[in-house]
Amino acid sequence: MFAPGGNLAVAAQTIDPIESEAIAADPRYAELFAAIRNASGDEAVLETSVELMAYVAQAYQPDDNLYLQTLDQTFDVVNYLDLEGRYSAFMRQLYVEAFPAVARRLGPDHALSRILRRRRDSALESAGLIDRRAPDTYEFLPGPRDFAALPSSPPQQVTGIERQAIATDARYAELFSEYQEQRTTWQSDAAWLQATMALLRYVERTYTPDSEIYLRTLARATLAVRAVDYDRVHVDLVSRLSAEALPAAQARLGQDNALVRQLAGNLENWQQDAERQAMFASEDLPSEFDWRLDTYDEPARSELRNLFEKRADLSGDALVENLVTSRDLELREIGAFRPYPLYFATRELLRGMTEAGRYDLVVEEAARWLDALGDDNFGQSDMEVTVIAYLANAQAALGNSDLAAEALARAVLAPDLNEVPPEQLYPWQPGSDPVEREYYLPQARSQLARILLRADTRSALALDSARFAIRYLRGVRDNRPPGAEANAVIADQFSAPEDLPFGQDARQQFSGFVEAAWRLAQENGDADKALFAEAFAAAQDALQDRATRAVAQNAASEFAARAGFGELARQREAISREIASLARDGMAGSREYRQAVARQEDIDWQLQQAAPEFFRLIRPRALPLAEARALLGQGEAVVLVLPTEYGTHVMAVTPEGEAWHKSDLTADEVAGSARRLREDLDPWGAGVISYWDAGFEAGAAHDLFRELIEPVMPVLAASDALLYATGPELASIPLTVLVAAAPDTAGERHHDYRAMSWLGDRFAMAQLPSIASLAFLRTNVKTASRQRSIVGFADPILEGEAATRGGRNAGSVASTRIALSANGRDGPPLADPASIRALARLPGTAQEVRMLAQSLQQGSEVLYLGASATESSVKDEDLSNVRFLAFATHGLKAGEGGIASEPGLVFTPPEEATMHDDGLLTASEILTLDLSADWVMLSACNTAAADGLGGGSLSGLARSFFFAGARSLLASHWPVRDDVAPLLTSGAVRMLAENPGMSRGTALQLAMIDVRNDESLEFADHPSSWAPFITVGDLR
């Protein structure tokens, strides 16, 4: 049907053998080649590479394979490192000589001839010697080679114009010094680019566009942006400034001025880049396909484009055949000169074969590629590591785990790949391969660990590989420079990569380490305390989600305010929300997005200089075991529940000791058990007619307890308060409903609920976003004086039929579509007030909030009920000095009511929607509130559990209130009964008022017990009545 192999060996075997022959036969070549390998730093690599090229150009003919090989490698080095352009003429002369010689030998239409012709013409055009738009109108005759004219040393790093500005402008001198430091040491691409743009923005504000210092700075910025602005964040700014400066510079300095000529050439390059970007954007091609097509001639480009366009509708063998045809076509275009683009085609082929389940073909194709490379190259670059990853995955799928592990181990355990500690792989250092060092090697090590764990073999190697991968992830988090993505939580930041088969996201990688540590601990007799501490930290990182980030962001803002940089932090928060909103609206590549990122980079740079502690706070780290234990008071315990593909790990820590247990229940099995219990706990949501029909699977609730909690109960014996963190698998139920003793009526649907041993009776409980968030909540809380006891919002005016919460006529908003209305040309769409007004009114919520206020016995209260319960009243009210903040209304999860992207709370809608008030307080609007409340009470439909949009184990509403400054939340897992909600919320608050030393967790625990034992309430003993609420955050 098709032959996957093609002429792959021809492309791969022409790399190192040529150099090896020259090293053996030519001592001078061997000496210079070794000098390149031993060069340290960018300048040394550039100088030695050019020296080798100059020798080869004198000693060998232009059509010699070694000449062409060296020319290609030198082109890459000069193109990337010669930012001053001092070797442009040298490279131009070489291409002028090489093209006709190769064209005579191979023919003008050969792929190599075409590549050389394009490079020659580009170099000549950049020098103003030809116009490629009229290719038939010029003839260039090269003069004799003059290699003596090569620069013998680098030109001055600082020009006279710049020295003058340094002497007269202190701020310029400061910024230029930072630029020079980053340019010469090159600590990271981002740092150099940041320093360059800071210098440019200052010069733009201070000097005129026709001044020499302006033009010189613009030239430096152009070089930096073209070299390392991979996301094209600053392209629009630099190209715009270039276009604005050129007319003024030409008028003042003349068109023949060197700086003006350079500016004109740069501007033309920007314009060509823009045209090329627009062309490829219109064709909807993947990014690496852009430049691959750009190197091919017609008709190959058209044929490849057609193959790509058909690919989306293909699968199985048809997809593989399409990919084989595409790869072989590219091979004919590339020839034996530049194999790297061929790697992308091969990777696409391996991916397609994997998706089609043709693992036999993957093994065949990967083995052919690796054989062509030879043993000397095995596992030495991102190309080989990726191909080997596909090979290993295929072998594992075919049941050959030993072969899979052997292949990966051979690739990733090479000594030269492991010289740099994984924490230091990001940002990548000069001389290393950024793709390999930053991405592929850690992912391949993680895949090796996964294969070994699935095969249940070689636990020590699995642990070592998993440790390497998670150390890298932590290094990225800790070493990421200020700027875009600086505040990302690592579990959000690292999703499964597309170019490695079955790539693992951060949670999977941390979970893999926990599993490997468990297995090794079992082999060692379960006595390795250091291993437990390491696994405890990894489990925290696995469970870390956006709620942790929200708490950390609030702590960082408080720190910045105390340090005198509160305004900068507030600006940063606003820009972060803008960036998130643009990304959510599909505008991540827009000019507005890039400009917002650039503004955030500016602020981050200032904060980094003035308050570096800020970035430690917004990048939450796992708490070491000793610090976690120190956070706990007498009688407190913390429990981590981490469901994984290998089973569920449970870790319990108290001031006195710790315990570690693994259940055989996998993540999918835990999630399934939680879903079944949730159907009993939310009978109306499951379509059940009555509580009696609902029943409760008490046996299933006990099974979960027995599997997860019972094995660690001995270490919890002295505890009466339990703080727990878990993954999204258990997010739909509170752990208070687990049954600690096997019920006598196990297997039946109905029980004596008052006689059952509920876990919520044994412990006062609270759910944590993470253990790190507990540290933030207890050490970085706001200290505003509490002038008011409670502010409440309830019973918005809605025109739907009045509903009783917790009943069959509750008016589910999930089936009611909230229409969206346009918001002019700019802002986000607004909720349509008429759609909100059609929701069912909830009159019982007014009574709940009144009872809350009464339960405080004394203190000030402000209640917004009925017509006054508006979104405007929330935004206009000063909520920074309120102890209890209550919302009793409809709550929309993301995706409900037609609101696809954000959850929100419903209020009395206005006649006409505005940005300030459309009747729906969304999560992003909650972020802007300034809170210091001890307890925010969200007595709505479902304000606790995750909303299914990747936010982890807590809802977007919960995360937003933490971000705004709340210390803890009272959130509901399902609609709360109108006759029960006031008893739970006001009962808990009343106990706090009567017992000043009581914790919030204990107050809620006692209120639930009171409701369950109240025989005057029908079905009050059913857990759906008394257990909907959970304290989220600190329970004290």
Residue 684, token pair as written in the block: 């109306």
Residue 509, token pair as written in the block: 């990688």
| Partners of residue 648 on adjacent β-strands | 643, 663
Q: Residue type at 779?
A: T
> Coil, helix or strand for 665?
coil
**Mean pLDDT highest for which of 97-106, 126-135, 692-701, 881-890?**
881-890
pLDDT number for residue 944: 55
SS (H, E, C) 436-463: HHHHHHHHHHHHHHHHHHHHCCCHHHHH
Which pTM does this prediction carry? 0.70
* pLDDT tens digits, 468-483: 888 888 877 666 544 4
Across the range 343-350, mean pLDDT stands at: 77
Residue 577, token pair as written in the block: 């929300």
pLDDT number for residue 283: 46
pLDDT number for residue 877: 94
Helix%, strand%, coil% for the chain, nearest 5:
60, 10, 35
- The span from the CA of 963 to the CA of 955, in Å, is 13
pLDDT number for residue 706: 96
Cβ atoms 796, 831 nearer than 8 A: no
- The span from the CA of 285 to the CA of 417, in Å, is 33
> Coil, helix or strand for 947?
coil
CB atoms within 10 A of CB 510: 31
CB atoms within 10 A of CB 785: 7
> Does the structure show a pLDDT above 50 at 143?
no
- The span from the CA of 899 to the CA of 893, in Å, is 8
Cβ atoms 190, 203 nearer than 8 A: no
CA distances from 821 to 456, 514, 826, 995 (A): 56, 48, 13, 49
CB atoms within 10 A of CB 360: 12
CA angle, corner 925, sides to 919 and 928, nearest 5? 140
- The span from the CA of 831 to the CA of 468, in Å, is 48
Across the range 881-893, mean pLDDT stands at: 89
Q: How confident is the model at residue 719 (pLDDT cuts 50, 70, 90)?
A: very high
Q: Residue type at 851?
A: M
What is the Cα 857 distance to its own chain's centre? 48
pLDDT number for residue 988: 95
* pLDDT tens digits, 504-514: 678 888 999 99
pLDDT number for residue 129: 61
Cβ atoms 520, 459 nearer than 8 A: yes
Cβ atoms 869, 889 nearer than 8 A: yes
Residue 241's Cβ-side half-sphere holds a number of Cα atoms within 13 Å equal to 25
pLDDT number for residue 266: 79
pLDDT number for residue 147: 41
Cβ atoms 892, 903 nearer than 8 A: yes
Q: Is the C-alpha dihedral spanning 171, 173, 176, 178 positive or negative?
A: negative
Residue 22, token pair as written in the block: 């020259």
pLDDT number for residue 456: 84
* pLDDT tens digits, 764-783: 999 988 888 888 888 765 55
Q: How confident is the model at residue 966 (pLDDT cuts 50, 70, 90)?
A: confident
Residue 712, token pair as written in the block: 């660690």
pLDDT number for residue 128: 62
pLDDT number for residue 234: 81
- Which range is least confidently modeled, 15-24, 513-522, 632-641, 843-852? 15-24
CB atoms within 10 A of CB 233: 21
| Partners of residue 658 on adjacent β-strands | 653
- The span from the CA of 801 to the CA of 781, in Å, is 42
Cβ atoms 676, 566 nearer than 8 A: no
- More confident call, 165 vs 128: 165
> Does the structure show a pLDDT above 50 at 364?
yes
Percent of the chain exceeding pLDDT 90 equals: 23
Q: How confident is the model at residue 992 (pLDDT cuts 50, 70, 90)?
A: very high
Look over the chain and give the mean of its residue pLDDT values, rounded to a whole number.
77
* pLDDT tens digits, 42-65: 778 888 888 998 888 888 887 787
Q: Are strands 647-653 and 935-938 parallel, antiparallel or unpaired?
A: unpaired
> Does the structure show a pLDDT above 90 at 578?
no
| Partners of residue 662 on adjacent β-strands | 649
Cβ atoms 769, 724 nearer than 8 A: no
> Does the structure show a pLDDT above 60 at 7?
no
Q: How confident is the model at residue 188 (pLDDT cuts 50, 70, 90)?
A: low
Across the range 202-210, mean pLDDT stands at: 87
Backbone dihedral angles phi then psi of residue 464, each to the nearest 5 degrees: -60, -45
* pLDDT tens digits, 534-577: 999 999 988 886 655 666 666 677 677 767 777 888 788 777 77
Cβ atoms 707, 641 nearer than 8 A: no
Residue 989, token pair as written in the block: 């608050």
Q: How confident is the model at residue 132 (pLDDT cuts 50, 70, 90)?
A: very low
Q: How confident is the model at residue 253 (pLDDT cuts 50, 70, 90)?
A: confident
- More confident call, 924 vs 289: 924
> Does the structure show a pLDDT above 60 at 650?
yes
Q: Residue 135: is it exposed, middle or buried by C-beta count within 10 angstroms (0-12/13-18/19+)?
A: exposed
Percent of the chain exceeding pLDDT 70 equals: 70
What is the Cα 451 distance to its own chain's centre? 25
> Does the structure show a pLDDT above 80 at 1032?
yes
pLDDT number for residue 280: 46
> Does the structure show a pLDDT above 50 at 137?
no
- Which range is least confidently modeled, 12-21, 109-118, 230-239, 317-326? 12-21
H-helix segments, 400-545: 401-412, 434-435, 441-455, 459-479, 490-493, 506-523, 529-543
Backbone dihedral angles phi then psi of residue 862, each to the nearest 5 degrees: -135, 120
Residue 690, token pair as written in the block: 């009555």
Cβ atoms 395, 343 nearer than 8 A: no
- The span from the CA of 408 to the CA of 448, in Å, is 6
Most distant CA pair in the chain, distance: 106
> Does the structure show a pLDDT above 50 at 400?
yes
pLDDT number for residue 482: 44
Q: Residue type at 521?
A: A
Q: Is the C-alpha dihedral spanning 994, 995, 1000, 1003 positive or negative?
A: negative
Beta carbons within 8 Å of 712's beta carbon, 6+ residues apart:
639, 650, 651, 652, 659, 660, 661
- More confident call, 908 vs 354: 908
CA distances from 583 to 541, 594, 897, 902 (A): 25, 11, 22, 13
